[in-house]
Amino acid sequence: MRVPQTLLALLLTLCQLAASATSLNKPAAPISRIDPTFWWVGMKNPKLQLLVHGPGLATSRVTMAAYPGVTLEGFQRLESPNYLLVNLTINSTAQPGKLQLTFNGKQKTTYAYELRARTTPGDKSKVQGISSADFIYLLMPDRFANGDPTNDVVKGNRPPGLARDSMYARHGGDLKGIEQHFDYLKELGVTAIWPTPVVDNNMPKAGYHGYALTDYYAVDPHYGTNEDYVRFVQHAHEQGLKVIHDVVLNHIGSFNYLWLDQPAKDWFHQWPSFTRGNYRNGTVNDPHVAALDRKLFSNTWFDTTMPDPAQENPLVETYLIQNFLWWVEYTGVDGYRVDTYTYSDPTFLMHWGQAILDEYPQLGMFGETWMQEAEGVAQQAFWTRNVFPPVNGFKSNLPGAIDFILRQALLESLTKPAGFAEGVSKLYYAVQGDWMYEDASRNVIFLDNHDVDRVFSVLGEDVNKQKMALAWLLTERGIPQIYYGTEVLMKNFSRPDGLLREDFPGGWPGDRQNAFTAAGRTPAQQDVHEYVRRLANYRKTHPVLQTGQLTHFVPENGVYTYFRHNAQGQSVMIMLNTNAAAKQVALSRFEERLKGFKSAQDVLSGAPVPNLQTANIPAHTALVWELR
């Protein structure tokens, strides 16, 4: 029987109304996320600020089911209709479990927020800290080794896959790839791994580098999952390797959900049009500074796709502090490297550093304090714990800096003739400036990294100079850091095409060369690799090169001589001949440090040195002698 068209239309209308009524009555949860994603009982600071996000959430009222030891202090609406702040106090009696938070708005939603038991206080394998006893290996996860092809393509990412022929695309390296080469790193003498940021960077271009994060609470899926990262840190600790977590305080990526749906306009520094910073950190302590120049340093964007959080906003400050406490407790990492440290709001930096160190006093922390030579040691020391009084209310509590000034001095020593204040004399004066630091041994010293030209290229691909630079790196005061591939003579410059971030040879199936193995290295690569391995492992087993006092002598005739020595009578003598010709040096000048010693052993060759009267140093060579 045919149904009349009018009746059919009526039935369809009734069905649609019924379906609509059913959908309106569904308890569809409006909450898309809560930051932090979970928390712990027993933290020293009992206060917790939850940033809750969901469509139209701001109209809700928040209640909490009774939970012993936890108090709901209230909630706060923000400018956006899609956010609520929920403030809790978690006192020392609270136990792990799930808080029942109810959001009563257009829809009623209950959320079970997890409180976990802490693991870092009683586990000595976690948060071990970073010190001058360590030797750091800096690598870019995307460019080191591909251990898990299943995460090469990530649906929804911008772009989703790989293109190894492009320096600005992803190449496929991941956490598993690093882990598969733990043995390589240990054999080299490495004690700590510093990967560039592993957090999510779902950006359309150059997301591989990690410095434009799009989710504060997620590992980049091209590297693995959050749980994979926790296991990575655990496995590194089991293998005697520490892990440094690279963090960015100053900026985020423009595809971060906090920028795409801003909690409030005052969560970010915003200008009528894009305004790039002037990169002048001296404006912070310049007594003659123009207000505009000061603002153009701290309140502008680092780059076109890197929004600048307004850290002077106390809500933003709390959000950031909680995030970086979260990563330490969640993973047990041993240290923080702080990207673009000087660009953040100075007051925020003091509050952030104090909060992190109050909770984790053993955590190693050092910051990127990128200085040009003209800025000098004093400006670099200003951004760390130093001997200066506060300036404009700022007194840094950062334990150590990445020592750009010392690197520039070392490179000048190896590339320019010696003079009263030129060449190797620059190195002497840079070290002489250590009096300005609270403890210069907490500084990280380096030859190259992911932002500067590879040292082998800077040195004109001179193997002897490369080895001399490495000898300095592993005998100077501070925490030595080597960039991946420096030990096998990887080369190239940062401009114009970023080739300083090429893949480590052998990290991908089918690579024509595998520099992870001795058989896969050229003779020159093997020579330098063995040089690093021998000296780094000597340093690892001889505390005098880790914590020994440094005594140096003013360079003469292009030769710089210094000693590392300790109260136990151990002493190592280092001589750097920066000349293009061999030098014979009478050792009587160094009597104050040679007194009581009769002979020595060459650390690198193993050859005995029968007397301490003269030293014959080949051109562009470092001597490293253990005094006997």
Residues 196 and 203: beta-carbon distance below 8 Å: no
Please give the structure tokens belonging to residue 425.
Answer: 């004399």
Pairing of strands 215-219, 108-116: unpaired
Pairing of strands 335-339, 242-248: parallel
Task: Give the position of tokens 């997890």.
Answer: 114
Within 10 angstroms of residue 63's Cβ, the number of other Cβ atoms is 13
Q: Could you confirm whether 368 is annotated as catalytic?
A: yes
Tell me which residue of 567, 620, 595, 604 sits closest to 612, measured CA to CA.
595
Please give the structure tokens belonging to residue 522.
Answer: 């050229």
CB neighbour class for 19 (10 Å; exposed up to 12, middle 13-18, buried from 19): exposed
- The DSSP element (H or E) to which 208 belongs, if any, is none
Please give the structure tokens belonging to residue 525.
Answer: 């690569």
CB neighbour class for 120 (10 Å; exposed up to 12, middle 13-18, buried from 19): buried
Task: Give the position of tokens 């915003």.
Answer: 270
Q: How many residues are listed for the chain in this entry?
A: 628
Taking the C-alpha atoms of residue 157 and residue 161, their distance in angstroms, rounded to an integer, is 8
Q: Could you confirm whether 142 is annotated as catalytic?
A: no
Active-site entry in 339, 359, 448, 476: 339
Task: Give the position of tokens 């068209």.
Answer: 5
Q: Would the CA dihedral through 351, 326, 144, 224 be positive or negative?
A: negative
Tell me which residue of 193, 103, 112, 101 sits closest to 145, measured CA to CA.
193
CA dihedral 233, 236, 241, 246 (to 10 degrees): -30
Q: Which amino acid is at 265?
A: K
List CB contacts of 570: < 8 A, sequence separation 6 or more: 542, 543, 544, 548
Q: How far is CA 124 from CA 179, 241, 334, 339, in A?
A: 21, 13, 11, 27
List CB contacts of 484: < 8 A, sequence separation 6 or more: 137, 138, 139, 140, 143, 144, 490, 504
Q: Within 13 Å and on the Cβ side, how many CA atoms surround 430?
A: 29
Residues 275 and 308: beta-carbon distance below 8 Å: no
Residues 244 and 364: beta-carbon distance below 8 Å: yes
Active-site entry in 148, 368, 453, 487: 368
Is residue 159 reached through a cis peptide bond, with omega within 30 degrees of 0 on the bond before it?
yes
Taking the C-alpha atoms of residue 419 and residue 432, their distance in angstroms, rounded to an integer, is 17
| Helices within 299-403 (DSSP H only) | 314-331, 346-359, 376-382
Maximum distance among all alpha carbons in the chain?
119
The 10 Å CB-count burial string (b at 16+, else e) for 394-432 is eebbbbbbbbbbbbbbbbbbbeeebeeeebbbbbbebbe
Residues 618 and 550: beta-carbon distance below 8 Å: no
**Residues labelled as active-site residues:** 339, 368
